[in-house]
Amino acid sequence: MRSSVHVLHVIHSIDPRSGGPSHALRGLIVEQVRRGHRLTVVATTAQSAEPWAPEGEFVARMRADLAFRDVELFLGRAWGRYRPWSRFSYCPQVVHLLNGRLADPSTRPDIIHIHGQFSHLTIRAAQLSRRWRVAYIVQPHGSFDEVCLAKGMTHWKRLFLRLFHRRDLKLAAAVQATSQAEAAQIDRLVPGCRLYVVPLGVPLPSDLRGDETLPARYPKLRGKRVVLFMGRLHEIKRPQWVVEASARLRSEIPELALVFAGPDVGMGDELRRQSQQAGLDGATVFPGFLQGPEKAEAFRLAHVFCLPSQHENFGVVVVEAMAHAVPVVVTPGVASHVYVDESGCGFTVEDSVEGVTEGIRRVLLSDREELGRRGRDYVEKHLTWQVVAEKVDELYCSIIHPS
């Protein structure tokens, strides 16, 4: 798309700890601004993990985020801090604002891009888009995958799907899936959607050296062969398999160390207990949620990145590891395993602790630099935000200017 368009992005939360959708939005809008588009982002003040910052402090931090520097950003109060209400986050203030923006022709966007589902804001955004006859795209980010539907608040999710989301998807100008697997799942649930597959992108780091912050904080990592897990410490991602696999490899590779980088959403204490029982607590660190140079340093230290998730709608952190030239071990439930296979940068293993153990062993016995180079080259060619934003532009153009 050569001409500039006004895109209004709607998302439940831009808290970076919320994972894939908020990170994907940041990457996309940075590239869209560079391409000359006018952008508005509407979100709630919902935060995804404890500790919650005071609302004013959180809003100020989000407004200072460089990703939103050249973007019109609106954040409205979300009511409901604890589950199940935090998932829905009633937000009449921001819905009222959104309605006003769409009602006024001078502020009405060319297209609305809705990220995620099962939220008061995303439901109302689709309804208001139809009221004011503005074309909208729904990007579910895995909301409708069977594993996600079965994990927590299952009956509420099924009810919302039947009452709201089925109609929202049917009437959307496009439903953007991030993988063929997600597209197939959506098509089974809501046949007849206008489905398009556009992957997520990542920035390609220009410097792979890191900043030495983590070794300074955790001297136990120096001289070790680091297995990195990065993501929410949640049961669906099965970080405990990384502990179990490493324990099995300890006698063979005694210099192993583990890094679990991500917000604790329920498994931190259990992982610490397992590490201690396995005799790995002296070589296991929990640096928490990492961003910027510290995140890059975690990738630099890693000899292998391992994500044994039961399910990942995309698994953008896998592509980030590839971009940082880190060999990868994943299980088949991680949709981005197809890129690991196509690039030859690591291994998609059997969905078991034994499979993960063998995958880590194979990487550590392989040429780490060669595996890493394959992954980085693949990302540069297929999965940067420059490549992905061009595909999103083509989708916008097909909707705004249909042939």
Phi, psi of 40, deg, nearest 5: -125, 135
Tens of pLDDT along the chain (403 residues) come to 557 999 999 999 999 887 778 989 999 999 999 999 999 999 999 987 778 899 999 999 999 999 999 999 999 998 877 665 666 788 999 999 999 999 999 999 999 999 988 889 999 999 999 999 999 999 999 888 776 666 666 777 778 878 888 999 999 999 999 999 899 999 999 999 999 999 999 999 987 665 667 777 888 888 899 999 999 999 999 999 999 999 999 999 999 999 999 999 889 999 999 999 999 988 999 999 998 888 999 999 999 999 999 989 899 999 999 999 999 999 999 999 999 999 999 999 999 999 999 999 999 999 999 999 999 999 999 999 999 999 999 999 999 998 7
Cis peptide before 54 (omega within 30 of 0): no
Q: Which fold has domain 213-382?
A: Rossmann fold (3.40.50)
What end-to-end distance do the CA atoms of the chain give, in Å? 14
Paired tokens of 353 = 């602790």
In which element (H, E) is residue 227 found?
strand 225-230
Paired tokens of 328 = 């990868």
Cis peptide before 293 (omega within 30 of 0): no
pLDDT at 209: 66
pLDDT at 52: 86
Do residues 143 and 118 make contact, with C-beta atoms less than 8 angstroms apart? yes
SS3 67: helix
Give the Cα separation of 380 and 139 in Å (integer). 24
Give the Cα separation of 54 and 51 in Å (integer). 10
pTM: 0.86
The angle subtended at Cα 96 by Cα 91 and Cα 102, nearest 5°, is 125
Ranges of each domain in the chain: 6-201+384-400, 213-382
pLDDT at 215: 75
Of 397, 393, 383, which Cα lies nearest the Cα of 179? 383
Helices 353-364 and 240-249: angle between axes, nearest 10 degrees: 60
Give the Cα separation of 331 and 311 in Å (integer). 9
Give the Cα separation of 297 and 305 in Å (integer). 13
The total number of residues written for the chain in this structure: 403
Paired tokens of 210 = 């890191």
Strands 111-115 and 6-13: parallel
CATH code given to domain 6-201+384-400: 3.40.50.2000
In which element (H, E) is residue 256 found?
strand 256-261
Give the Cα separation of 230 and 299 in Å (integer). 9
Of 92, 82, 94, which Cα lies nearest the Cα of 14? 94
In which element (H, E) is residue 122 found?
helix 120-131
pLDDT at 42: 97
